Amino acid sequence: MPLFEYECTDCEHREELLLPFSEYTPQRKCVSCGGSACRVWAPPHLDTDTVFMAGHGTLADQLGGDDEAARVATAAKKQGYTPGYNDVYCPTMASKVGDPAAFITPGDGKQHIRDLCEKRGMSCYGRVEHKPSERPPKPKVRLSEKFIRRRTKELIKQDPGLASKPKQELREQLIETHAFR
């Protein structure tokens, strides 16, 4: 089962949950205050394409068994993608079970993650450097003012150069990044 991380937009409580995809929702009730917690997307850490692709084994190895591999492969086929023998399935990037976008082929490698982050308006860093350059999809989750103010401060702390950017621009970037579904 994949690990999902949620952060409460009211009280900032963070929670990590191992969930089957059938129970995954982009928002959950916060266990701490009863407010609304949004999923925090976690792009995978990558090295070179070769290192990244190596050692994952078959889909069954990755998912812990033939039954689960068959379930994911069947779901992927229904969505128009037939997983290859050497694909790496990346559950943290799947929007639902068998999401074709979550399969990384040896030919695509890191570029696939970069493209996916771009499409979703996410940034990612590490061996894959990516900053969203196009306008990401419209947000569907409401974020509280408190959450937006706190994250804006954090962003400026990480990158003081952002302080000179128009506040509204930072704010929109933040809403779009966090509220993506």
Q: Which residues bind Zn ion (CB under 5 A)?
A: 8, 10-11, 13, 30, 32-33, 35
The nearest distance, CB 147 to Zn ion, in angstroms, is: 10
| Residue 27 or 86 having the CB closest to Zn ion | 27
The nearest distance, CB 154 to Zn ion, in angstroms, is: 18
Helix H, strand E, coil C: the string for the chain is: CCEEEEEECCCCCEEEEECCHHHCCCEEECCCCCCEEEEECCCCCCCCHHHHHCCCCCHHHHHCCHHHHHHHHHHHHHCCCCCCCCCEECHHHCCCCCCHHHEECCCCCHHHHHHHHHHHCCCECCCCCECCCCCCCCCCCCCCHHHHHHHHHHHHHHCHHHHHCCHHHHHHHHHHHHCCC
| Residue 13 or 127 having the CB closest to Zn ion | 13
| Residue 32 or 86 having the CB closest to Zn ion | 32
The nearest distance, CB 103 to Zn ion, in angstroms, is: 34
| Residue 34 or 84 having the CB closest to Zn ion | 34
| Residue 10 or 118 having the CB closest to Zn ion | 10
Q: Specify whether the CB–CB gap between 106 and 51 falls below 8 A.
A: no
The nearest distance, CB 53 to Zn ion, in angstroms, is: 39
- For 16, 51, 52, 117, the CA distances from 127, given in Å and listed in that order, are 24, 11, 11, 14
The nearest distance, CB 179 to Zn ion, in angstroms, is: 17
